[in-house]
Amino acid sequence: METTSQYVGIFHNIVKSGLVNNINSKTSSELTRQNIIPLSRVNQFFFGTNLFANKLNYLVLNKESMITKKNGQYYMYISKLEKYLNEVCDVLDIENKINCCPFNYIKIFGQSERILNGKYLLMIYAFESFLHFLKLKLNNDANTIVNIMAPNSKLEGEVIKILELDEHLNDMVIKFDKKGKPLFITLSWSLNKNLNHQNMLRICNNVEIDEYEVLYDYICEQLRMDTPEDYLINNLDRVCGSREFSEIMVKSYLSKHEFKYSLDSISSVILWKDSRSYNKYKDYFLSRYENCLVLDDDQILLNFEGINKFLLNINEEHVENFEVKEQINDMYYNCMTELISSFEKLYKNK
């Protein structure tokens, strides 16, 4: 049986890689305790696609203890990550064909002997150049776009369409999920600048700055088309780094007197010292703030005031160390500051 410290170590390693960014906190905690993660998420994160999954030999993968199947879904054992990725590289023929977006694979494992195709490195350069352009703008819209495309410097795009140019080269349509409508960007190998294609990112060494400006303006327009709630959530996600927590804060704020969010969903974003410390704080909170919570089918539900007081009353003794307490303070402060700032912008642009 894994000890708590071993579990925390495994969890922190895969969180640092960005692999569990798109998995909610409760689910990711349960999976990492079992040392597994959804196979589709692994494929998507490292190669930008899961379309090749039907080419995998699941019988061999299972025989070699790389994967398991639960409730009709395949999972990969975290300890077998690199071995599994080598199998995927063979299936994709990643040395010769441009048929995926292995941004995170290359960024995490480097230019390994498997990545012999220099065009993939040019693809990485194209993304990094555009992200660098956004960061130099030093404004909230650009920062939000960076957070949508590459939170924690890891790309979160999905190849949804491949436009074949020849046997080895393909244009690609990449989808980036965000609150509201997804964002679509076309990766193009065209040698010619075309500002009429506003959602295009050219893969070449000589992209001009006005091309990036056109793409930036297009994305900003897409963001403005989201609902006010989506706009707020996207902005909070940028500053606090948790989509789940951002949604809770925004939606609870917009319906302050409703008891919608479980205490468990709030506590799941906190790195507690251990279960005993958490239970001690939970008992203290329940005894002091009965007006901020209700019981519903054995769940403890909080309103906006309850969520705030739950976070603000956490002490250093309840969490792993002082740095964790400071992280909670910073996350809360950043969220509240951004919430006020975003409402000001919405009001001015009514």
pLDDT in tens, 242-257: 778 888 888 888 888 8
pLDDT, tens digit, for every residue of 174-206?
999 887 788 899 888 877 777 778 888 988 888
DSSP code for 299: E
DSSP per-residue letters across 139-181: SHHHHHHHHHH-GGG---EEEEEEEE-SSS-EEEEEEE--SSS
Q: Pairing relation of β-strands 293-296 and 299-302?
A: antiparallel
Cα separation of 37 and 31, whole Å? Answer: 6
**Residue 171 above 50 pLDDT?**
yes
- Taking only the tens place, the pLDDT of each residue in 141-151 is 899 899 889 88
Domains of the chain by residue range: 4-92, 118-224, 228-348
